[in-house]
Chains A and B, each alone.
Chain A
Amino acid sequence: MNFRKNLFALVVAALLVSGCSSDDEKDNLTDTAQGADASTMPLNDGSMSGSQFGSETGAGGGYGSGSAANLGPEFSDPNNPLSKQVIYFDLDSAQVKQEYVPVVAAHANYLVGHPAQHVILAGNTDERGSSEYNISLGELRAKSVERMMRAQGVSASQLEVVSYGEEKPVATGHTEAAWRLNRRVEIGYQ
């Protein structure tokens, strides 16, 4: 089963990569020419390559050349809220904290301007408590972000919610310092 599914994933990845490379050529021309202003971006700059998960921990290496360019320079500008792709939560809470409202709003605004862009909202929790309850809690967190984005006009078809609960920690310690980094929703541009 694993083999078959992995093969499937590889094929999909290969299709995405090949799709991107052809898009890249025309998009890069458009993007650089127009300065990547979200409101003036063409609608067809679709399928991005590379995963942007866990951006606060730095690149895990090798997203492939040119993938960062697909998202435009505003995603790597630390002064731009789009550069933040992880939303953090309080213990046992799915409420988006005030400080992250502008971040979610910026991504929603970008997605409204790029209706072909698809994101996965991946909900996660810290390791405390029971693991299946945490799957549900992670999903509620991701759905909180989804609801805010939908309220701003992002199309349902652009958003997918998945929860990994406590199964995919980015910080491996067993103290609050690690837990606060793990209670998160990652906004993953696809």
Chain B
Amino acid sequence: MILATRIILISLMAALFSLAQAAGLTIEITKGSQTAVPIAVAPFAQQGSIGPLKLTDIINSDLGGSGFFKTLPEDDMLVKPSDPAKIDFKDWQVLGQDYLVIGQVVGVGNTFNIQFHLFNVHDGQLLMGYKLTAGANELRRAAHHISDLIYEKLTGRKGSFNTRIAYVTSVAKPSGKQYMLQVADADGYNPRTIAESPEPIMSPAWSPDGGKIAYVSFHTKRSEVFIQTLATGQRESVSASRGINGAPAFSPDGGKLALTLSKDGSPDVYVLNLSGRSLTRLTNSMSIDTEPSWSADGSSIVYTSDQGGKPQLYLIPATGGKSTRLTFQGDYNARGRFSPDGKSLAMVTASNGGYRIAVMDLATRTVNVLTDGPLDDSPSFSPNGSMILFSANSGGRSVLEEVATDGAMQQKLAFESGDVRQPVWGP
């Protein structure tokens, strides 16, 4: 892969530094957290063969983009220790740091032995020491793994750095538009095209084990839902009925697929049993019922309906029954997505003339608008529930952005070209 320059702008801190990274992706922190915990990740000492990338660049990017940490630029460090015995914690206290990470990489041919230590700067306590070995092509995953370990140690929650995302990229070509369904690392690296068509591709959805993606393809000029196995590339049509075949969503056990069909009239939510292919109609109204999303325990489904005149979110038992309206604030609340802990819902909400990402606390029904719009769409939670990935319009293009679920921190993943839409965060 071509190495280019990735730039991270930390606008609130007015700091800027560049890192050598993969082709054409820019990650920009557009809103920094005021309450973020200061952490310094000193560059790891290198011995033997040099790896193809710098681990601490990735760790800094992960932690800085998590919304929980504020990382210290390397240029601001007074010293760069790699040996625990040589740390003077005053060097880090004076810089206002709470935590310090140091480490070493010993390269033996294409194998890299990595070890790192995490310290509390205030009392000098060693919080974690860890060794791992990675091949040259596994270094990026190793760095994400280190970020996960640090994040979990300091927040008590699992990290989501070693996960993947799926999204649809469309690019204008001389022959017309080309749509690509792509899968990449959660930080946007290692993108891979898994389906491509001159007609729209829409609504990717991950299976719970991360092995499959369901999506909508219009390559026959009509909508059709496919399930594709990532390891083999094999795809299977699971719905091609008359009218809409859309909005697929795997159940938490992976055995069922909720989807929107209009074969019986207006768009309604159905549940397709994937083993026997039996279809159950869940909603039955004259209005639009679409965008199903399962609760984590699989017992209920949230969906968008305009049965009250405007799109609002409703909840229905996954086996069918009476639906309950969830949203009452404003004229437009759509595409509800449960948080992994089931306690909140992310959604697209219209407010002040813009379409923004909001989170509703299901216990109190309080709605917190997290983003500024004006064209935000497709929210999905990180597997640990701390961040929401969504699409936004920036400078006339559609890009991916992430916002912390408390709204404190936001960052943009801008790809080199094309419009990037309908992201979903996978396991």
Interface residues of A, Cβ cutoff 8 Å to B: 1-2, 5-6, 9, 92, 127-133, 135-137, 139-140, 161-165, 167-168, 174
Contacts and interface: CB of A to CB of B under 8 A. Distances in A.
Contacts of A168: 200
Nearest to B221: A162
A87 B144 CA distance: 51
Nearest to A164: B200
Contacts of A129: 311, 332, 334, 348, 350, 355, 377
B421 to A, nearest CB: 7
A139 B270 CA distance: 17
Interface stretch (B22-30, B34-42, B99-107, B260-268): B260-268
Given A2-B219, A163-B244, 9 more contacts: A128-B355, A130-B291, A132-B260, A132-B290, A135-B290, A136-B290, A139-B267, A140-B266, A174-B393
B197 A2 contact: yes
Could you tell me the dominant secondary structure of chain B's interface residues? strand
Contacts of A139: 243-244, 262, 267
Interface string B233-277: 001000000011011000000000000101000110000000000
A164 B201 CA distance: 10
A130 B244 contact: no
B396 interface: yes
B189 interface: no
Sorting the interface of chain B by its residue count into under 10, 10 to 19, 20 to 34 or 35 or more gives 35 or more
Contact of A133 (B221, B334, B422): B334
B332 to A, nearest CB: 6
8 contacts: A9-B220, A132-B260, A133-B290, A133-B291, A133-B304, A135-B267, A136-B262, A164-B218
B335 interface: yes
A167 B335 contact: no
Contacts of B219: 1-2, 5-6
Interface string B191-228: 00001110010110000000000000011111100000
A82 to B, nearest CB: 23
Given A5-B219, A167-B218, A132 B202 contact: yes
A52 to B, nearest CB: 15
B378 interface: yes
Contact of B222 (A128, A130, A162): A162
B31 interface: no
Nearest to B224: A5
Contacts of B332: 92, 129
Contacts of A1: 219, 235
A136 B335 contact: no
Interface in B281-336: 288, 290-291, 304, 310-311, 332, 334-335
In the A-B complex, the 6 residue pairs with the smallest Cβ-Cβ separation, listed nearest first, are A167-B200, A130-B335, A136-B288, A136-B267, A130-B334, A132-B247
